[in-house]
Every structure is written in C-alpha cells, then in structure tokens.
Amino acid sequence: MLYILLKMKTTQAFCHSEMQIFPGPRYRTHMKQPLWIIILVSFIIVFLICAYMYPPQTSDACYIFSSRGCKVITDWLPPAPARELTDEEVASHVFIREILNSPIVSSKTPKLAFMFLTPGSLPFEKLWDKFFNGHEGKFTVYVHASKERPTHVSSHFLDRDIHSDQVVWGKITMVDAERRLLANALMDPDNHHFVLLSDSCVPLYGFDYIYKYLMHSNISFVDCFKDPGPHGNGRYSEHMLPEVEEKHFRKGAQWFTMKRQHAIIVLADNLYYSKFRNYCQPGLEGRNCIADEHYLPTFFNMIDPTGIANWSVTHVDWSERKWHPKSYRAEAITSELLQNITSIDVSVHVTSDKKKEVQRWPCLWNGLHRPCYLFARKFNPQALDKLLYLFSNYTTI
C-alpha cells in the first residue's frame, strides 16, 4: 500500500516536472524550475568539456577516482579523434589479439626454454650443468654463439647450438639473435616459457623454484619503464610515426622471460620491428638508440601492457652509475652477497634526466609479494669455482 502511494507520488512528480520542461506561454510565471534545469545542464556541459580536455591519464589519477571510477569516466568521454589505422596495423592488431586470447596447447611435460646469447663458450656451463642435473624432461637449452663455436663441457649443452649470426651491441642484430632463439625454441611445442640469458648470467635458485616461478606465472617478465631523459625518450625518432608515438616509447633491460603467446607475437611482428630496425640504431640522427633496450619494452607497452611484469628477473647492479654494470669478481662472491640479491622484493628504475627520479615497484607474482630475481649478472668467469662451491648451499630453499 505504502509502495503504491509512493509510486503514485513519484509518477505525479515526474509528470509535473515534464510539464515544466516544455513550458507553454501560459507557464511563464513558473520560471524557477526551468532555470534550475538550465543551470544543471550547463554544469554537465562544463564537466564534460573539462573531462574531455583533462582526461585522467596517469594511473595516479585512476587511483584517485578508484580504478573502477576511472573506467567509468573514460567510458563517458567521446572517443579521442582516432587516427585511421593502416592496413598493416589493422592486420597486426587482429593477429595479436587472436594469439593473446588463444590458450596454448597444454602438454604433458611443459618445459622451460633456456636461451643463451653468448659470443662463444659459456664460462658458467658447469654451474648450469649442476643446476639442470636431475630435471631432465623439464627444460630445453638453446645456444646462440655469435663469434666463435663454443666448446661444451656439459651433456645438457651438447648439440644445442643453433644457427647463429654476428651480433653488434646496440644494433638490431641483437634483436635478430633473440628472435632466432625464440624461433628455434618455439619449434618444440612443449616449451611454454622462454628465458633469455647471457654468458655472464648465473642462477640464484635451484631448478624447481625457478620452474614453478615462471611456469605458474600468467605474465611475461619484460623490463619496461618510462624514462623521459636522454637515454630514454631522448632516443625516440619521429620517423617511427605514425605507428609508434613518443608517449608509448619505453626502455628496459633486454634479459626477458616470456610466455609462449608472447614469444609467438614477437616472432610474428614485422610492422613495429621494422620501425626499430630502421630508426633505432646507435649514432642515427645524433641519437644513441639501442634497439634491444627499446623495441620489446615499447612493443609490449603498446600491445599488452598488463601482460608484462615491467621488471626483469635477471638482477644487475648499476649502482656504480658507470657505462657498464658492476661485474662481480671471485672475491666478492659470498653467501651474504647472494642472500642480499635474493632478498630484494622491490624493483627500482632510475630516469636519466636531471631529476634522476627513482621509480620503485613491489615485485608482485600473481598478486603476491615475492623476490624479484631468479638470475643475476654480471659475473666474472673466475667466479665459477666460488659459485660451484656455494651453489648447493644457496639453492637449498
């Protein structure tokens, strides 16, 4: 009964106000309500104009509105005046979306692909041999030696050299070598996650820990951050337009791990790859663009930003702020050093501009705080014996 009464009241009120919206000449005396509506409408228009001119762009703004609020507000906006995509871009977007949405064929023995990018023999092959022992069937090894044919001391590395080509630091040949490794590793349908390592990398954990960490992660560990300084966006070239805009340009260390879908996409990409091949080279147009530090971070930031972790699981120490990172000598290697590295659970990036802004993100693994690093570089070849001696101690977690 009460409900019906209420309903009648609201209906009446509604009819009443509707009449006020279209006032005939006879209602001139009732100007108060239309004025109220005009003010409200003006407010909405002003709000929409403001929202259009100052859309919440940073994730900080999204947090202020709460992530849901942010979405609602952006949905309200008229779509930004979109550039017409080229045929190649449309094809590429379709292709990428299909691959991202397709589940990988599950296999009875999913494997990790360890892809070594090295000039020649691997100084830490004996350590890796210890690392792999007893886990046969759960990994495959690929070696791309760009300068000289390596001699192998471990059975896990025998006949694992792939066809290789010259690699010039900073040039696209580095990316080509990464793609060659991915192509070879993708041929094995059991490879589900792909790890890129250098000759100076060592494992920080035993095999089982690393296997679980990577296999049960739903993202790829690709390093990616925005550096407005000379070693970041200062390397961007407008020749990359229209496909690659400066606002999408990112930087990151090349040592990635990647899930299978991402590996396929990297191999399939020609459009964005060719932009970096042509316009990201050391010395081009006075810029010192390093293809392997920008192509994959920028590419993933554009095509699947939430599918990457934004940090690399390979630790490196840049604290000396030199052109090359710190290289650990045998004397420096102690249980304490290794413990220090494995206890880090926040990733740090520093911009190269005058502000030297420090960006810190907690390392989240499937939403949980976990140590950031599974591997570390750079280790001096003389450090091998010390690492072999310590290995079983530091990997018994």
Ligand X SMILES: *[C@@H]1O[C@H](CO)[C@@H](O)[C@H](O)[C@H]1NC(C)=O
- Interaction of residue 106 with ligand X, rule CB under 6 A: no
Q: Which residues pair with 328 in a beta bridge?
A: 379
Euclidean distance between CA atoms 397 and 374, whole angstroms: 13
Euclidean distance between CA atoms 157 and 146, whole angstroms: 16
**Which parts of 107-166 interact with ligand X (CB under 6 A)?**
none
Residue 88 CA: distances (Å) to CA of 80, 261, 280, 301: 21, 20, 20, 19
- Interaction of residue 101 with ligand X, rule CB under 6 A: no
Nearest alpha-carbon partner for 104 in 220, 232, 202: 220
- Interaction of residue 307 with ligand X, rule CB under 6 A: yes
275: amino acid identity, one letter: K
Question: Omega into 226 within 30° of 0, i.e. cis?
Answer: no
- Interaction of residue 81 with ligand X, rule CB under 6 A: no
Nearest alpha-carbon partner for 258 in 309, 294, 207, 293: 309
Quick one: tokens of 47? 């709000």
In the complex, the smallest distance separating the C-beta of residue 123 from ligand X, rounded to whole angstroms, is 21
- Interaction of residue 309 with ligand X, rule CB under 6 A: yes
What are residue 194's phi and psi, to 5 degrees?
-120, 125
Pick between residue 184 and residue 342 the one whose CB is nearest to ligand X.
Answer: 342
Stretch that binds ligand X, among 32-40, 124-132, 279-287, 303-311 (CB under 6 A): 303-311
Phi-psi region of 60 (alpha: psi -120 to 50; beta: other; left: phi over 0): alpha
In contact, 168 and 174? CB cutoff 8 Å: yes
**Which parts of 367-386 interact with ligand X (CB under 6 A)?**
367
In the complex, the smallest distance separating the C-beta of residue 116 from ligand X, rounded to whole angstroms, is 26
What are residue 251's phi and psi, to 5 degrees?
-130, 155
Pick between residue 87 and residue 336 the one whose CB is nearest to ligand X.
Answer: 336
Euclidean distance between CA atoms 89 and 198, whole angstroms: 33
Stretch that binds ligand X, among 85-93, 198-206, 207-215, 298-306 (CB under 6 A): 298-306
Pick between residue 131 and residue 139 the one whose CB is nearest to ligand X.
Answer: 131
Pick between residue 200 and residue 301 the one whose CB is nearest to ligand X.
Answer: 301
362: amino acid identity, one letter: P
**Which parts of 311-370 interact with ligand X (CB under 6 A)?**
334-337, 340, 366-367
In contact, 172 and 276? CB cutoff 8 Å: yes
What are residue 310's phi and psi, to 5 degrees?
80, 5
- Could you tell me how many residues of this chain bind ligand X (CB under 6 A)? 18
Pick between residue 86 and residue 334 the one whose CB is nearest to ligand X.
Answer: 334
- The correct pick among 58, 101, 109, 218 for binding ligand X (CB under 6 A) is 218
In contact, 131 and 203? CB cutoff 8 Å: yes
Stretch that binds ligand X, among 64-72, 177-185, 234-242, 300-308 (CB under 6 A): 300-308
Pick between residue 155 and residue 319 the one whose CB is nearest to ligand X.
Answer: 319
Pick between residue 176 and residue 293 the one whose CB is nearest to ligand X.
Answer: 293
In the complex, the smallest distance separating the C-beta of residue 325 from ligand X, rounded to whole angstroms, is 15
Longest dimension (CA), the chain: 100
Q: Mask: binding to ligand X, 10-49, rule CB under 6 A, as x and -? A: ----------------------------------------
Pick between residue 226 and residue 277 the one whose CB is nearest to ligand X.
Answer: 226
- The correct pick among 177, 219, 266, 384 for binding ligand X (CB under 6 A) is 219
In contact, 131 and 138? CB cutoff 8 Å: no
Pick between residue 114 and residue 299 the one whose CB is nearest to ligand X.
Answer: 299
Pick between residue 150 and residue 371 the one whose CB is nearest to ligand X.
Answer: 371
User: For binding to ligand X (CB under 6 A), which residues are involved?
Assistant: 218-219, 301, 305-310, 334-337, 340, 366-367, 390, 393
